[in-house]
Amino acid sequence: MTKMKEVGSMGLKMNEKDLRYKVYEGTEGERAIDISSLRKDTGCIAFDSGFVNTGVCSSNITFIDGEKGILRYRGYDVADLAKNCEFIEVVYLLIHGSLPTEGQKARYSNLLNSHSLIHEDMKEFFSHYPDHSHPMAILSAMVVSLSSFYPEMGENYKEDVDMKVTRLISKLRTIAAFSYKKSIGHPTIYPKHDLSYCENFLNMMFSSPVKEASYNDVMVSALNKLLIIHADHEQNCSASVVRSVGSAGANLYASISSGICALWGPLHGGANQQVIEMLEEIERDGGDVDKVIERAKDKNDPFRLMGFGHRVYKSYDPRATIAKKLCMEVIESTNNIDPLLDIAMKLEEKALEDPYFVDRGLYPNVDFYTGLTYREMGIPTDMFTVMFAIGRLPGWIAQWMELKDDPHGRIARPRQIYTGPTFRKVEPISKRN
């Protein structure tokens, strides 16, 4: 567990009392005031809607500097990892804390393939979901169902953690592909032992008994990189949900299922789907980008420009730079002309020239180009958030494991400011108006 360094203290004067609170510093210079005894000392709590200024844990997994546009996993820059690693290497890094050797990578790849099948009885579950069920609903339900088929991932998770954690990472990919096949009424395609992690997923998605899957090496490489840039993102909404559920003692499957549900929200992982829907609406409306920019700036217009701005990044999202390059590469490899890409690029150009967006730090985020890339691969819009979940899974697991290993970990229990009615007595029902 990462140790924070005490670097000083901060004074607070309240009700004629002088109070001192320790100040801690992380390895990258981030500072935090320890107010864990604030309520005891003052009778007050800190009010911080959305936990924007609240650190809920110390962590050695991911570092973000939103002002400088920095994202690192275990000290490695995300662009460096995307350039030089496959997704399973980053999975290994997040789970084990170091990048694998060639031998470790080969063993890990074999583990992924050997645990890629789901229990045959689970296939029956898919047949009972209504037609056109959203893949995220199926994904979350199937993940929590894994706890019935593989219950040993409980308190003794450290025993052969590779096997247990890798089982979930591998099976989620299979469940995701099966959920897509269910949504279109096609038979499921089993994983193959001779394909890589990303090749296996694309094959399960797009193969059928009458047609081989159509994908190229550029798509496989792009998918590896897209999953890498989504692999973790510090204490985001879904990761904090995984930690909160895990803090109650819930098993890994239940915790991950809760994270999937959080990711489904349109303000979190569902944003890339909304970007595509916005671009399609702009195309139907004639492709007038200037009109869209003006609508986004009008405070009286409910329209929102999707794919721009980020809670943490106040400069260009480093993942967006990678995603844009991948989008161009995939579209070039297919020789397709996507009118939505032209609209997206014009929209970005106009926004980056407009002081309204620049002054507010509203740059394209990771969602802006990932949806276009998945669309070009043939992945349907309602599967975009599922792709996000596949990428984010190792980060969620790493967060859950770190929580379990924290000797000072406590159940998540935020406070609140009550604004309801004051005390009142219950009137007999005959006297109520």
217-238 residue pLDDT tens = 999 999 999 999 999 999 999 9
- What CATH number has the domain spanning 5-58? 2.20.28.60
Sheet of 70-73, strand order? 62-65, 70-73, 76-77
Is residue 221 within 8 A of residue 330, CB to CB? The reply is no
Which CATH architecture describes the domain 80-403? Orthogonal Bundle (1.10)
For the cut 60, the answer to whether the pLDDT of residue 252 exceeds it is: yes
Q: What does the pLDDT read at residue 335?
A: 85
User: How many CA atoms, within 13 angstroms, populate the side-chain half-sphere of residue 154?
Assistant: 6
Count of positions (residues) in the chain = 433
Give the C-alpha separation, 141 to 315, whole Å: 37
Catalytic, out of 230, 232, 310, 317? 310
pLDDT band at 64 (very low <50, low <70, confident <90, very high): very high
Residue ranges covered by each domain of the chain: 5-58, 80-403
In the residue annotation, 230 being an active-site residue is answered as: no
Tokens of 14: 């309240």
Q: Is residue 153 scored above 60 in pLDDT?
A: no
- How far, in Å, CA of 393 to CA of 337, rounded? 32
pLDDT at 152 over 80: no
Report the chain's mean pLDDT, rounded to a whole number: 90
Q: Is the pLDDT of residue 431 over 70?
A: yes
Contacts of 62 (CB under 8 A, 6+ apart): 71, 72, 73, 74, 232, 233, 234, 395
The predicted-structure confidence for 370-381, as pLDDT tens digits, reads as follows 999 999 999 999
**Cβ pair 116, 191 in contact under 8 A:** yes
- 97 or 309: whose pLDDT is higher? 97
Residue 96 neighbours by CB under 8 Å, 6+ apart:
none
Of 280, 279, 261, the residue nearest 270 (C-alpha): 261
CA distance 25 to 285: 51
Sign of the CA dihedral running 77, 81, 87, 88 = negative
Element (H or E) spanning 316, and its range? none
Give the pLDDT confidence score for residue 1 in this predicted structure.
47
**DSSP β-bridge partners for residue 33:** 23
Q: Tell me the average pLDDT across 97-119.
A: 93
E strand or H helix at 77, and its extent?
A: strand 76-77
Mean pLDDT of 263-285: 90
Alpha carbon distance 176, 163 (integer Å) = 20
Percentage, residues of the chain above pLDDT 90: 58
CA atoms of 23 and 72, how far apart (whole Å): 24
Q: Which of 92-101, 139-148, 348-357 has the highest mean pLDDT?
A: 92-101
Check: pTM over 0.85? Answer yes or no.
yes
Give mean pLDDT, residues 239-268. 94
What token pair was written down for 77?
Answer: 């820059």
Report whether pLDDT(275) > 50.
yes
pLDDT at 234: 95
Q: Examine the pLDDT at 351 and tell me if it is beyond 70.
A: yes
**Helix-then-strand count for the chain, H and E:** 18, 6
Reply yes or no on whether 18 is catalytic.
no
DSSP state of 61: S
- Could you give phi then psi for residue 25, rounded to 5 degrees? -135, 135
| Residues in contact with 32: Cβ distance below 8 Å, sequence separation at least 6, in sequence order | 4, 23, 24, 25, 26, 55
Q: CA neighbours within 13 Å on the CB side: how many for 17?
A: 10
Tokens of residue 352, six digits? 């980056």
**Which is nearest to 246 in space by CA: 395, 378, 113, 409?**
409
Q: What does the alpha-carbon distance between residue 57 and residue 227 come to, in Å, rounded to a whole number?
A: 25
* Residue the block writes with tokens 């009008």: 298
**8 pLDDT higher than 90:** no
Q: Is 39 helix (H, G, I), strand (E, B) or coil?
A: helix
Closest CA to 395 of 192, 206, 243, 190: 243
Return the pLDDT at 157: 60
Tokens of 359: 């002054």
* Overall average pLDDT of the 423-429 stretch: 95
Q: Mean pLDDT, to the nearest integer, of 90-112?
A: 95
115, 232, 233, 367: the active-site residue: 367
Q: What percent of the chain has pLDDT over 70?
A: 97
Q: Is 54's pLDDT higher than 50? A: yes
